[in-house]
Amino acid sequence: MSPDPRGETHVAAPTSSGASVRSPREVDVAVPADVLPPVGGVGDESGRPLRRRQALAILAILVPVAIVALFPFYWMVTTALTPSSAAIRVPPSLVPLDASAENLAELFRQAPVLLWAFNSLLIAVAIMVCHVVFDSMAGYAFAKKRFPGRGLMFLLIVSSLMIPVQVTLVPRFILISRLGLDDNLLGVILPSIADVFGIFLMRQFIRTLPAELEEAARVDGANEWQVFWRVIMPLSRPAVATVAIFSFVGAWNAFLWPLIVLSKRELLTLPVGVALLQQEFSSNIGLQMAGAAVGAVPMILLFLFFQRHFLDGVRVGGVKG
Confidence of residue 321 (pLDDT cuts 50, 70, 90): very low
- In sequence order, what are the residues at sequence separation of 6 or more whose Cβ sits closer than 8 angstroms to the Cβ of residue 301? none
Report the C-alpha gap between 57 and 183 in whole angstroms: 54
Domains and CATH numbers, the chain: 48-104 (no CATH), 111-320 (1.10.3720.10)
Convert the pLDDT of each residue in 231-271 to its tens digit: 999 988 888 988 998 899 999 999 999 999 998 888 999 99
Lowest mean pLDDT among 42-51, 115-124, 214-223: 42-51
User: Helices 113-130 and 285-305, interaxial angle, to 10°?
Assistant: 40
In the chain, the amino acid numbered 229 is: W
- Look at strands 29-32 and 2-3 and give their pairing: unpaired
Please give the helix or strand (H or E) that residue 115 lies within, else none. helix 113-130
The reported pLDDT for the residue numbered 46 is: 58
pLDDT tens digit sequence for 195-224: 999 999 999 999 988 888 888 988 888 888
Return the ∠ at Cα 169 (arms to 166 and 175), rounded to 5°.
165
Q: Quote the CA–CA distance of 3 and 16 in Å, as a whole number.
A: 24
Could you tell me what percent of the chain has a pLDDT over 90? 31
How far is residue 198's CA from residue 271's CA, in Å, rounded to a whole number? Answer: 24
Average pLDDT for residues 283-291, to the nearest whole number?
80
